[in-house]
Amino acid sequence: MDMSVDKLTDEVTRITLTGSLDIKGAAAVEVPFTTVAGANKRIVVDFTAVDFVASIGLRLLVGAARTVARRGGKLVLCGVTPPVARILTVAGMDGLLPSFPRVDDAVAALGA
């Protein structure tokens, strides 16, 4: 799994993930992902190129979203593919990790 980070606006940071967020992928991005989450308050995680997510990946996402929320911020997803969306729904995470079709919608939802 690959990860890149860029600024969408002065206040919104995008984390782009590519690959599978499985046990191997989660281990590969855990440290940088958690670091970015700890240093920013408004985060869009771009899932356009994520083909699979397992519970260990959801653990990483929820942990980061919780960290951000406790500092008064918000983490949202964009570009989630239908197979990954089904996993989020069955896991009961769709209400905790808001998801938007396009990155512009996600930025708007963050109020930035």
Which residues of this chain interact with other proteins, rule CB under 8 A? 22-24, 27, 52, 54-56, 58-59, 62-63, 65-66, 69-70, 83, 86-87, 90-93, 95-97
Minimum Å gap between C-beta 11 and other proteins is 19
> In terms of Cα–Cα distance, which of 14, 84, 1 is closest to 46?
14
Alpha-carbon gap, residue 14 to 20, rounded angstroms:
18
Q: Which is nearer to other proteins, 19 or 112 (CB)?
A: 19
- The residues near 85 (Cβ < 8 Å, ≥ 6 apart) are 94, 99
Cβ-based neighbour number of residue 103 at 10 Å: 18
Report how far Cα 106 is from the mean position of its chain's Cα atoms: 11
Q: Please, what is the minimum distance in Å from the beta carbon of residue 14 to other proteins?
A: 19
Distance between CA atoms of 50 and 45, rounded to whole angstroms? 10
Taking the complex as a whole, how short is the minimal distance between the CB of residue 81 and other proteins, in angstroms? 11
Comparison of 10 and 72: residue with beta carbon closer to other proteins: 72
**Of 7 and 88, which has the nearer Cβ to other proteins?**
88
Q: How far is the CB of 51 from other proteins (least distance, A)?
A: 10
Nearer of residues 10 and 92 to other proteins, judged by Cβ: 92
Reduce the DSSP state of residue 7 to 3 states and report it: strand
